[in-house]
Amino acid sequence: MLASRRLARSPIASLLRRNSTAVEPPPAGGHLPSVATSQYLRSTREKALRTPGLQWNDEDDPHAIIGVERETRKMNVYQAVRDALSIALTKDDNAVVFGEDIAFGGVFRCTMGLAEEFGRERVFNTPLTEQGIAGFAIGMASMGHTAIAEIQFADYIFPAFDQLVNEAAKIRYRSGGAFNVGGLTIRTPTMSVGHGGLYHSQSPEGFFMGASGLKIVIPRSPIQAKGLLLSSIRDPNPVIFMEPKILYRSAVEQVPMDDYTLPLGRAETLVPGADLTLLTWGTPIYHCETALDMLANPPAGIAQHVPESLRKAKIELIDLRSILPWDAETVAESVKRTGRLVVVHEAGMTAGVGAEIAAEIQKRCFLRLAAPVKRVTGWDTPVALQYEKFYIPDAVRIVDAMVETLSY
């Protein structure tokens, strides 16, 4: 239904119908009805081309199609990741893609067809060793090559923690700039998926936030995934790129076909507002979208908990996108205007990314804060399989936090 509505409005409907990939069935256990109808996903070519911060990266290419002629194509997140990898491999002979099970296309299909297209010397399987994958990637990058490695689930990045924190993050510094591993990008699927249990659900970005020298990036959509991944691959620093796995198939939008990047270290204001700043990244973006709808028009069941006076509140929604370094300026500017901040993330609360943000914002915005900074996060427990709906920071918890903060 979604696809047909989009296509009907699109001037290049017939082209898209021919080129677009088959519609995927919804993921098992899908619990995010808002993703399918999200207003934040850019359903038309025009909207896609107007993505804020988008920088074309082919201005020097005489064959590139410039400006209004640019094409877009409907993609989900895994297709957008695959598209970015394909561009990186095409434009950079020194780029290689590797990890566990990536040669046949990857367990999430992010590397579909790349081995056939670019050869097994550039797209290859590794033995099942995360510390080895990270170490191998560091070695390649230290030789000036572009190493794009995959860790199959973010839950399994911890065996590589030493290589990433003690080695990748510190090589430029410890060598006085003589060596660096700027060509290193680690991609890894993250966040909950409905039924991932303890080890297919984690959001470990907070563990890496203290590893100065690394960058950590988390996209929310196909356009963001492609642009931020290409930026990560080309950034002169090692980057951990965490892909919210529940969005691989569920988030679909028009994505520019050409080579473009989106800036690292910059948050994006998705919805402007004046009364409260709602800050998040990755999957919870869509819980926040639902929560904003619910705050304005609460369903009968929860209406009694949402005072009439708050329903017209103007909420500013910000997608942080980069966890390290994070865009304190954009967030602080917003909170200075709104006086209230709610931070939403899936990882547990204690020493999570929200703690860092809350501390910095209370320092920068102390006199402007009208309420305590509120964190809506996973609990300080592992992600328990049958309890997931009560673990994740879903729309109702976000609504409740906004109500509490607005009425403080």
**Which residues are catalytic, by number?**
130, 200
Answer left, alpha or beta for residue 213, where phi above 0 means left and psi between -120 and 50 means alpha: left
> With contact defined as beta carbons under 8 Å apart, do 208 and 347 qualify?
no
Which one, 40 or 207, has the nearer CB to other proteins? 207
Rounded to the nearest whole angstrom, what is the least distance from the CB of residue 88 to other proteins in the complex? 15
> Does residue 121 belong to the site contacting other proteins (CB under 8 A)?
yes
CA distance 143 to 155: 28
Q: Give SS3 for 179.
A: coil
CA distance 164 to 171: 10
Strand 95-99 to strand 123-125: parallel, antiparallel, or no bridges (unpaired)? parallel
Exactly one of 19, 21, 212, 297 binds other proteins (CB under 8 A); that residue is: 212
> Does residue 265 belong to the site contacting other proteins (CB under 8 A)?
yes
Q: List the structure tokens of 306.
A: 């949402």
Which one, 203 or 237, has the nearer CB to other proteins? 237
> Does residue 366 belong to the site contacting other proteins (CB under 8 A)?
no
Measure Cα distances from 119 to 84, 141, 230, 335, 383 in Å.
17, 20, 21, 50, 38
Rounded to the nearest whole angstrom, what is the least distance from the CB of residue 93 to other proteins in the complex? 8
CA distance 252 to 262: 18
CA distance 395 to 402: 10
Rounded to the nearest whole angstrom, what is the least distance from the CB of residue 157 to other proteins in the complex? 14
Exactly one of 43, 79, 152, 180 binds other proteins (CB under 8 A); that residue is: 180
Query: DSSP letters along 289-345, please?
Result: HHHHHHHHS--HHHHTTS-GGGTT--EEEEE--EEES--HHHHHHHHHHHS-EEEEE
Which one, 194 or 227, has the nearer CB to other proteins? 227
Phi/psi of residue 238, nearest 5 degrees: -70, 135
> Does residue 405 belong to the site contacting other proteins (CB under 8 A)?
no
> Does residue 210 belong to the site contacting other proteins (CB under 8 A)?
no
Phi/psi of residue 15, nearest 5 degrees: -60, -45
Taking residues 344 to 363 in sequence order and writing x for each that binds other proteins by CB under 8 A, - otherwise, the string is: --------------------
CA distance 362 to 279: 14
> Does residue 96 belong to the site contacting other proteins (CB under 8 A)?
yes
- Interacting stretch for other proteins, rule CB under 8 A, among 31-39, 177-185, 188-196, 300-308? 177-185
> Does residue 134 belong to the site contacting other proteins (CB under 8 A)?
yes
> Does residue 182 belong to the site contacting other proteins (CB under 8 A)?
yes
> Does residue 45 belong to the site contacting other proteins (CB under 8 A)?
no
> Does residue 145 belong to the site contacting other proteins (CB under 8 A)?
yes
Taking residues 373 to 392 in sequence order and writing x for each that binds other proteins by CB under 8 A, - otherwise, the string is: --------------------
Exactly one of 104, 179, 387, 408 binds other proteins (CB under 8 A); that residue is: 179
Q: In what order do the strands lie in the sheet with 268-271?
A: 268-271, 315-319, 276-280, 341-348, 374-378
Exactly one of 59, 176, 308, 312 binds other proteins (CB under 8 A); that residue is: 176
Rounded to the nearest whole angstrom, what is the least distance from the CB of residue 233 to other proteins in the complex? 14
Which one, 147 or 398, has the nearer CB to other proteins? 147
Q: Give SS3 for 123.
A: strand
> Does residue 129 belong to the site contacting other proteins (CB under 8 A)?
yes
From start to end of 177-282, where are the E strands? 184-190, 215-217, 239-244, 252-256, 260-261, 268-271, 276-280
349 Cβ contact partners less than 8 Å away, ≥ 6 residues apart: 355, 375, 377, 378, 379, 380
> Does residue 126 belong to the site contacting other proteins (CB under 8 A)?
yes
> Does residue 139 belong to the site contacting other proteins (CB under 8 A)?
yes
CA distance 192 to 173: 35
Rounded to the nearest whole angstrom, what is the least distance from the CB of residue 259 to other proteins in the complex? 19
Exactly one of 26, 33, 144, 372 binds other proteins (CB under 8 A); that residue is: 144
Q: Could you list the residues that contact other proteins (CB under 8 A)?
A: 94, 96, 98, 121, 124, 126-127, 129, 131-132, 134-145, 147, 159, 162-163, 166-167, 170-180, 182, 212-213, 215, 235-237, 265, 325, 328-329
